Protein backbone atom coordinates (compact mmCIF):
# COMPACT_ATOMS: atom_id res chain seq x y z
CA UNK A 1 0.00 0.00 0.00
CA UNK A 2 2.92 2.32 0.74
CA UNK A 3 4.31 1.62 -2.75
CA UNK A 4 0.95 2.51 -4.29
CA UNK A 5 0.92 5.81 -2.39
CA UNK A 6 4.44 6.52 -3.64
CA UNK A 7 3.32 5.76 -7.21
CA UNK A 8 0.39 8.17 -6.91
CA UNK A 9 2.75 10.77 -5.47
CA UNK A 10 5.09 10.23 -8.42
CA UNK A 11 2.20 10.77 -10.87
CA UNK A 12 1.17 13.98 -9.11
CA UNK A 13 4.71 15.34 -8.82
CA UNK A 14 4.91 18.62 -10.84
CA UNK A 15 8.50 17.82 -11.81
CA UNK A 16 7.22 14.91 -13.93
CA UNK A 17 5.17 17.28 -16.08
CA UNK A 18 8.06 19.25 -17.57
CA UNK A 19 10.96 18.37 -19.82
CA UNK A 20 11.47 15.75 -22.51
CA UNK A 21 10.28 12.97 -20.20
CA UNK A 22 7.07 14.71 -19.12
CA UNK A 23 4.00 12.57 -18.43
CA UNK A 24 1.71 14.43 -20.90
CA UNK A 25 4.28 13.98 -23.66
CA UNK A 26 4.65 10.26 -22.92
CA UNK A 27 0.87 9.81 -22.81
CA UNK A 28 0.53 11.58 -26.17
CA UNK A 29 3.29 9.41 -27.69
CA UNK A 30 1.67 6.24 -26.36
CA UNK A 31 -1.77 7.22 -27.61
CA UNK A 32 -0.53 8.37 -31.03
CA UNK A 33 1.49 5.17 -31.43
CA UNK A 34 -1.59 3.09 -30.54
CA UNK A 35 -3.93 4.96 -32.90
CA UNK A 36 -1.53 4.84 -35.86
CA UNK A 37 -1.07 1.11 -35.30
CA UNK A 38 -4.85 0.60 -35.23
CA UNK A 39 -5.29 2.61 -38.45
CA UNK A 40 -2.67 0.53 -40.28
CA UNK A 41 -4.09 -2.76 -38.96
CA UNK A 42 -7.64 -1.68 -39.87
CA UNK A 43 -6.58 -0.73 -43.39
CA UNK A 44 -5.26 -4.27 -43.83
CA UNK A 45 -7.85 -6.32 -41.93
CA UNK A 46 -11.18 -4.62 -42.69
CA UNK A 47 -11.21 -5.04 -46.51
CA UNK A 48 -10.13 -8.68 -46.16
CA UNK A 49 -12.74 -9.28 -43.46
CA UNK A 50 -15.50 -7.66 -45.53
CA UNK A 51 -14.56 -9.80 -48.54
CA UNK A 52 -14.61 -12.99 -46.45
CA UNK A 53 -17.87 -12.08 -44.74
CA UNK A 54 -19.63 -11.14 -47.99
CA UNK A 55 -18.45 -14.03 -50.15
CA UNK A 56 -17.77 -16.70 -47.53
CA UNK A 57 -14.47 -17.50 -49.24
CA UNK A 58 -11.26 -18.02 -47.32
CA UNK A 59 -12.87 -18.12 -43.88
CA UNK A 60 -10.98 -21.24 -42.78
CA UNK A 61 -7.66 -19.76 -43.87
CA UNK A 62 -8.45 -16.45 -42.14
CA UNK A 63 -9.33 -18.20 -38.88
CA UNK A 64 -6.13 -20.27 -39.01
CA UNK A 65 -3.90 -17.29 -39.79
CA UNK A 66 -5.57 -15.13 -37.14
CA UNK A 67 -5.15 -17.89 -34.56
CA UNK A 68 -1.49 -18.28 -35.49
CA UNK A 69 -0.90 -14.54 -35.15
CA UNK A 70 -2.56 -14.53 -31.70
CA UNK A 71 -0.20 -17.28 -30.53
CA UNK A 72 2.97 -15.36 -31.46
CA UNK A 73 4.80 -14.00 -28.36
CA UNK A 74 4.84 -10.24 -28.80
CA UNK A 75 8.20 -9.64 -27.13
CA UNK A 76 9.80 -12.39 -29.18
CA UNK A 77 8.28 -11.01 -32.37
CA UNK A 78 9.39 -7.50 -31.43
CA UNK A 79 12.95 -8.67 -30.87
CA UNK A 80 13.00 -10.65 -34.11
CA UNK A 81 11.71 -7.71 -36.18
CA UNK A 82 14.17 -5.37 -34.47
CA UNK A 83 17.04 -7.67 -35.44
CA UNK A 84 15.70 -7.68 -38.99
CA UNK A 85 14.99 -3.97 -39.63
CA UNK A 86 16.98 -2.38 -36.83
CA UNK A 87 16.33 -0.36 -33.69
CA UNK A 88 13.63 2.31 -33.92
CA UNK A 89 9.87 2.70 -34.31
CA UNK A 90 9.60 0.41 -37.33
CA UNK A 91 9.90 -2.82 -35.34
CA UNK A 92 7.19 -1.96 -32.76
CA UNK A 93 4.83 -0.83 -35.53
CA UNK A 94 5.25 -4.11 -37.40
CA UNK A 95 4.93 -6.28 -34.28
CA UNK A 96 1.90 -4.50 -32.84
CA UNK A 97 0.17 -4.27 -36.23
CA UNK A 98 0.44 -8.05 -36.48
CA UNK A 99 -1.02 -8.25 -32.97
CA UNK A 100 -3.95 -5.94 -33.86
CA UNK A 101 -4.95 -7.57 -37.16
CA UNK A 102 -6.65 -10.78 -35.81
CA UNK A 103 -9.37 -9.18 -33.63
CA UNK A 104 -10.17 -6.54 -36.28
CA UNK A 105 -10.31 -9.20 -39.00
CA UNK A 106 -12.59 -11.36 -36.85
CA UNK A 107 -14.87 -8.43 -36.07
CA UNK A 108 -15.12 -7.53 -39.78
CA UNK A 109 -16.17 -10.92 -41.12
CA UNK A 110 -18.26 -12.04 -38.14
CA UNK A 111 -20.22 -8.78 -38.41
CA UNK A 112 -21.26 -9.77 -41.93
CA UNK A 113 -21.87 -13.41 -41.00
CA UNK A 114 -24.15 -12.44 -38.11
CA UNK A 115 -26.60 -10.74 -40.50
CA UNK A 116 -29.73 -12.71 -41.30
CA UNK A 117 -29.29 -14.07 -44.83
CA UNK A 118 -32.94 -13.28 -45.56
CA UNK A 119 -32.08 -9.59 -45.22
CA UNK A 120 -29.33 -9.90 -47.83
CA UNK A 121 -31.57 -11.96 -50.13
CA UNK A 122 -34.28 -9.31 -49.84
CA UNK A 123 -31.77 -6.64 -50.84
CA UNK A 124 -30.83 -8.67 -53.92
CA UNK A 125 -34.50 -9.22 -54.71
CA UNK A 126 -35.15 -5.47 -54.94
CA UNK A 127 -32.30 -5.09 -57.43
CA UNK A 128 -29.41 -3.91 -55.28
CA UNK A 129 -25.95 -4.65 -56.65
CA UNK A 130 -23.34 -6.47 -54.57
CA UNK A 131 -21.57 -3.19 -53.84
CA UNK A 132 -24.82 -1.57 -52.74
CA UNK A 133 -25.58 -4.54 -50.49
CA UNK A 134 -22.17 -4.24 -48.84
CA UNK A 135 -22.40 -0.47 -48.36
CA UNK A 136 -26.09 -0.16 -47.58
CA UNK A 137 -26.91 -3.37 -45.72
CA UNK A 138 -23.96 -5.40 -44.48
CA UNK A 139 -21.66 -2.62 -43.32
CA UNK A 140 -24.28 -0.77 -41.21
CA UNK A 141 -25.59 -3.99 -39.66
CA UNK A 142 -22.11 -5.46 -39.09
CA UNK A 143 -20.58 -2.25 -37.77
CA UNK A 144 -21.16 -2.98 -34.04
CA UNK A 145 -19.16 -6.21 -34.22
CA UNK A 146 -16.45 -4.49 -36.25
CA UNK A 147 -16.16 -1.76 -33.60
CA UNK A 148 -16.01 -4.53 -31.01
CA UNK A 149 -13.04 -6.04 -32.84
CA UNK A 150 -11.29 -2.67 -33.03
CA UNK A 151 -12.07 -2.15 -29.34
CA UNK A 152 -10.42 -5.46 -28.46
CA UNK A 153 -7.40 -4.64 -30.64
CA UNK A 154 -7.09 -1.19 -29.04
CA UNK A 155 -6.90 -2.68 -25.54
CA UNK A 156 -4.27 -5.20 -26.64
CA UNK A 157 -2.16 -2.62 -28.42
CA UNK A 158 -2.31 0.07 -25.71
CA UNK A 159 -1.24 -2.48 -23.12
CA UNK A 160 1.47 -4.09 -25.24
CA UNK A 161 2.77 -0.77 -26.61
CA UNK A 162 4.75 -0.44 -23.39
CA UNK A 163 7.17 -2.91 -25.00
CA UNK A 164 7.90 -0.34 -27.71
CA UNK A 165 10.17 1.39 -25.20
CA UNK A 166 12.27 -1.79 -25.20
CA UNK A 167 13.88 -0.72 -28.48
CA UNK A 168 12.63 2.86 -28.93
CA UNK A 169 12.45 5.86 -26.63
CA UNK A 170 8.69 6.33 -26.83
CA UNK A 171 5.54 6.00 -24.77
CA UNK A 172 4.71 5.17 -21.18
CA UNK A 173 6.82 2.03 -21.28
CA UNK A 174 9.84 4.30 -20.89
CA UNK A 175 8.95 4.73 -17.22
CA UNK A 176 8.89 0.97 -16.68
CA UNK A 177 12.31 0.36 -18.23
CA UNK A 178 13.88 3.44 -16.63
CA UNK A 179 12.46 2.49 -13.24
CA UNK A 180 13.74 -1.05 -13.68
CA UNK A 181 17.27 0.19 -14.34
CA UNK A 182 17.27 2.62 -11.41
CA UNK A 183 15.20 0.33 -9.13
CA UNK A 184 12.62 3.08 -8.79
CA UNK A 185 9.55 0.93 -8.16
CA UNK A 186 7.30 3.94 -7.62
CA UNK A 187 8.09 5.13 -11.15
CA UNK A 188 7.44 1.65 -12.55
CA UNK A 189 4.09 1.35 -10.78
CA UNK A 190 3.18 4.94 -11.71
CA UNK A 191 3.83 4.20 -15.38
CA UNK A 192 1.75 1.04 -15.13
CA UNK A 193 -1.14 2.97 -13.57
CA UNK A 194 -1.02 5.50 -16.40
CA UNK A 195 -1.21 2.69 -18.96
CA UNK A 196 -4.21 1.21 -17.13
CA UNK A 197 -5.98 4.58 -17.03
CA UNK A 198 -5.34 5.10 -20.75
CA UNK A 199 -6.67 1.61 -21.51
CA UNK A 200 -9.82 2.27 -19.46
CA UNK A 201 -10.36 5.58 -21.27
CA UNK A 202 -10.11 3.88 -24.67
CA UNK A 203 -12.41 1.10 -23.47
CA UNK A 204 -15.04 3.64 -22.48
CA UNK A 205 -14.74 5.55 -25.77
CA UNK A 206 -15.05 2.46 -27.97
CA UNK A 207 -17.87 1.03 -25.82
CA UNK A 208 -19.80 4.27 -26.35
CA UNK A 209 -19.12 4.24 -30.09
CA UNK A 210 -20.15 0.59 -30.33
CA UNK A 211 -23.43 1.40 -28.62
CA UNK A 212 -24.25 4.33 -30.88
CA UNK A 213 -23.47 2.59 -34.18
CA UNK A 214 -26.24 0.03 -33.67
CA UNK A 215 -28.91 0.88 -36.28
CA UNK A 216 -32.17 2.20 -34.83
CA UNK A 217 -34.18 -0.47 -36.62
CA UNK A 218 -32.18 -3.18 -34.88
CA UNK A 219 -32.71 -1.54 -31.49
CA UNK A 220 -36.46 -1.15 -32.06
CA UNK A 221 -36.82 -4.73 -33.28
CA UNK A 222 -34.98 -6.01 -30.23
CA UNK A 223 -37.21 -3.98 -27.93
CA UNK A 224 -40.29 -5.32 -29.70
CA UNK A 225 -39.07 -8.89 -29.22
CA UNK A 226 -38.48 -8.23 -25.53
CA UNK A 227 -41.95 -6.70 -25.15
CA UNK A 228 -43.60 -9.63 -26.96
CA UNK A 229 -41.77 -12.17 -24.85
CA UNK A 230 -42.56 -10.34 -21.63
CA UNK A 231 -46.25 -10.05 -22.60
CA UNK A 232 -46.34 -13.77 -23.31
CA UNK A 233 -44.60 -14.62 -20.07
CA UNK A 234 -46.77 -12.37 -17.87
CA UNK A 235 -49.93 -14.58 -18.00
CA UNK A 236 -47.83 -17.63 -17.13
CA UNK A 237 -46.36 -15.82 -14.13
CA UNK A 238 -49.77 -14.64 -12.98
CA UNK A 239 -51.15 -18.17 -13.30
CA UNK A 240 -48.27 -19.57 -11.29
CA UNK A 241 -48.82 -16.95 -8.58
CA UNK A 242 -52.55 -17.73 -8.40
CA UNK A 243 -51.85 -21.46 -8.06
CA UNK A 244 -49.31 -20.77 -5.35
CA UNK A 245 -51.80 -18.73 -3.31
CA UNK A 246 -54.54 -21.30 -3.49
Contact 18, 98 (CB under 8 A): no
Find all residues with CB under 8 Å of 116, minimum gap 6, and list them: none
Q: Specify the higher pLDDT residue, 166 or 206.
A: 206
Q: Nearest CA to 154 among 220, 107, 87?
A: 107
- Looking at residue 244, what is its pLDDT? 43
Q: What is the rounded average pLDDT of the residues 125-145?
A: 87
Backbone torsions φ then ψ of 151, nearest 5 degrees: -60, -45
Q: What is the rounded average pLDDT of the residues 165-189?
A: 86
Mean pLDDT over each residue of the chain, to the nearest integer: 81
- Looking at residue 245, what is its pLDDT? 40
Contact 33, 186 (CB under 8 A): no
- Looking at residue 230, what is its pLDDT? 39
Contact 91, 85 (CB under 8 A): yes
Q: Does residue 225 carry a pLDDT above 90?
A: no
- Looking at residue 205, what is its pLDDT? 92
Q: Does residue 193 carry a pLDDT above 90?
A: yes
Q: What is the rounded average pLDDT of the residues 93-104?
A: 89
Q: Give domain 2-214's CATH architecture.
A: Orthogonal Bundle (1.10)
- Looking at residue 1, what is its pLDDT? 57
Q: Does residue 222 carry a pLDDT above 50?
A: no
- Looking at residue 217, what is its pLDDT? 55
- Looking at residue 54, what is its pLDDT? 85
Distance (Å, whole) CA 212 – CA 207: 9
Domain positions in the chain are 2-214, 217-246
Rg of the chain on CA atoms, in Å: 24
Three-state DSSP class for residue 76: helix
What is the DSSP code (8-state) at residue 129? -
pLDDT tens per residue, range 11-59: 998 888 988 889 999 999 999 999 999 999 999 999 999 999 888 888 7
pTM for the model: 0.80
Amino acid sequence: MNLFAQAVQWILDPLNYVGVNAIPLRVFEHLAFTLVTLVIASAIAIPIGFFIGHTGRGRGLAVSVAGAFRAIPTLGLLTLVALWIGIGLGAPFVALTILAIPPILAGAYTGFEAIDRRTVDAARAVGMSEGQIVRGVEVPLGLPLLIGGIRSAALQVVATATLAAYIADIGLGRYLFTGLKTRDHAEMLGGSILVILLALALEGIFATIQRFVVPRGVISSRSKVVRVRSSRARPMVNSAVEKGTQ
